Amino acid sequence: MAIEEHAVGKGHARASSQKEAFLTWVRRAAIPLPASPHEPLGPEAQTALDRLLEGKRFVFLGEPEHFIVEKYPFRLTFIRHLFARGWCDIAMETGRSVGWCIDRYLETGDSSYLHFEPAGAPDAARHDRILEFLDRHEDSFHEQLRGLSESRRGSTPRLRYWGYDFDLGVPLGAVKPIQRLLEGRADGSVREWLRSLDTLGSLSTDQQLACIETLQAGATARADALGKNAVAELQSWLTFLHDSVAAEKRPRVRHDPRGARRWWIERERFLMQYLDAIVKTLGDEGKLVLLGHCVHLSRDAAHLWFHPRPSTFWGLRSWLRALGYRLFFKLIRSRRNMGDSVGTHLCRRFPDRVLSIWMLYGQGTRMTPAGPRTVRLRDDTLEALLARVGDRFLLPLQDMDPQVRAILSRANFRLAEGSYASADLTCQADALCFVKDINAE
């Protein structure tokens, strides 16, 4: 018994020593960030970020939660710096047609483009608090993006905005850009298409899909009336509209967790296709800022695990939590890792051209369909260590000694709805943006 206690004591002492070494490095490497997106990065942060940007075309700004206020200053702070250095295109984990509408707003200033009507999905009412959150914060974010875009000088290109996801929640969102493409054409069949598009909202999902398929079949035959380029664009939008409507038939987590997980993996493949189309449009040297959840913007998705790491470094709680998570995934017969992601896909295509910055947070509240929910610091997570250093800082993951790298390579952290994840963060991100306190209001 004495020998076991001695071994446990030595292990605890070794972990404490490693944590102190890690904290010493973080205090030396951390770079303070402004609390307001209206304040520029300080000279030290600008120098560090410019060094990280050397040779890059793509910048990931990964968020750990969708519905927290602090993600907006995180985005804007870095976009402001990137825009001044030639990054004029932003791609967001949102529907393609939503991105189209936001881009029209950035171009014209017409705020009517920011009003998205949610679909009449059966569970739409459950998301009232989420919709309220988006109404309060998304419009303000887009207004600040337009202000930034309009502040440019001379012939500098404006900011452009793209969506690389399904139109989840607004499956008929693509009707608006299709109508804009067809409006003003006198051809009788085109007017018939416009009437068909107007009636989609009154149809069932299956009827909508049948109607869209009919439009797809007739589009190619209209090349003479519309022109080759317009037909290609029309076909692209009709295919996307069909994808978004079909996504409404996806398995729901509360009814079929395993089926929902399989669909989620399939969704990632669609995201890759949509993003590839954006990259092709930008040309060989076009620069792109990608916004989205860290899960999607993972550089090494196969080794991003949805459970804590069973590690002596993180202690007994980590072991017990890891066991509980694994039993849960076994019970629902679901994968415990990402498998693949749109971020990993882009890194495969463009090795060494991606800069990945992930936001992590410590504690606070996040918005859910039922209202704000509290997330507390856990002592078996990386965030608990980072919270001992400061409230808001950039941490480039460079110039680390082996002891520090060992901690980051087996990190536990919070990712998506306050739940645990674990990964080698040195393979996922080039820098971390840490915010100690988050807010749902």
pLDDT over 60 (residue 121): no
| pTM for the predicted model, two decimal places | 0.92
Percent of the chain topping pLDDT 70: 91
What is the per-residue pLDDT for 123?
Answer: 46
Residue in the block written with tokens 């804007």 = 76
Q: Between 131 and 335, where is the model more confident?
A: 131
pLDDT over 50 (residue 5): no
* Average pLDDT across the chain, whole number: 89
The DSSP output letter for 413 is: E
> Residue ranges of the alpha helices (H) in 163-307?
175-182, 188-199, 205-219, 223-226, 228-246, 257-282
Q: How many CB atoms lie within 10 A of CB 349?
A: 14
96-108 helix and 128-150 helix, angle to the nearest 10 degrees:
40
What is the per-residue pLDDT for 7?
Answer: 40
Residue 77, both tokens: 């702070």
For residue 284, give the amino acid letter. Answer: D
Phi first, then psi: give them for residue 280, nearest 5 degrees. Answer: -60, -40
What is the per-residue pLDDT for 16?
Answer: 86
Kindly state the average pLDDT of the residues 425-431: 96
pLDDT over 70 (residue 186): no
Residue in the block written with tokens 């910048």 = 59
> Which of 155, 68, 41, 81 minimizes the C-alpha distance to 439?
68
Q: Convert the pLDDT of each residue in 144-177 to its tens digit.
A: 999 999 999 888 899 999 999 999 889 999 999 9
Half-sphere exposure of 311 (CA within 13 A, CB side): 19
Task: Residue count of the chain, please give it.
Answer: 441
What is the per-residue pLDDT for 185?
Answer: 66
Q: Convert the pLDDT of each residue in 392-415 to its tens digit.
A: 999 999 888 888 999 999 999 998
Return the SS3 of 308: coil
The DSSP string of 109-145 is --GGGG--PPP--TTGGGGHHHHHHHHHHHHHHHHHH
pLDDT over 50 (residue 293): yes
Kindly state the average pLDDT of the residues 200-215: 93
Domain boundaries, the chain: 2-168+257-438, 175-249
Kindly state the average pLDDT of the residues 59-77: 96
pLDDT over 60 (residue 8): no
Highest mean pLDDT among 32-46, 92-106, 166-180: 92-106
* Range with the poorest average pLDDT among 150-159, 257-266, 275-284: 257-266
CA distance 244 to 167: 5
Kindly state the average pLDDT of the residues 118-137: 67
Q: Between 121 and 277, where is the model more confident?
A: 277
Contacts of 171 (CB under 8 A, 6+ apart): 119, 241, 244, 245, 247, 248
96-108 helix and 228-246 helix, angle to the nearest 10 degrees:
120
The DSSP output letter for 70 is: T
Q: Convert the pLDDT of each residue in 220-261 to its tens digit.
A: 766 666 777 888 898 999 999 999 999 999 988 777 877 777
Residue 334, both tokens: 């679901």
What is the per-residue pLDDT for 11?
Answer: 56
Residue 140, both tokens: 């303000």
Confidence of residue 279 (pLDDT cuts 50, 70, 90): very high
Confidence of residue 115 (pLDDT cuts 50, 70, 90): confident
CA distance 420 to 325: 9
Contacts of 42 (CB under 8 A, 6+ apart): 31, 32, 34
CA distance 170 to 378: 37
What is the per-residue pLDDT for 184?
Answer: 66
Q: Convert the pLDDT of each residue in 323-348 to its tens digit.
A: 888 888 777 766 777 789 999 999 99
Q: Which fold has domain 2-168+257-438?
A: EreA/ChaN-like  fold (3.40.1660)
Kindly state the average pLDDT of the residues 202-217: 92
What is the per-residue pLDDT for 194?
Answer: 82
Phi first, then psi: give them for residue 434, nearest 5 degrees. Answer: -105, 130
What is the per-residue pLDDT for 320?
Answer: 87
Q: Exposure string (b/e) for 273-299, b if CB count within 10 Å is 16 or more?
A: ebbeebbeebeeeebbbbbbbbbbbbb
Q: Between 316 and 347, where is the model more confident?
A: 347
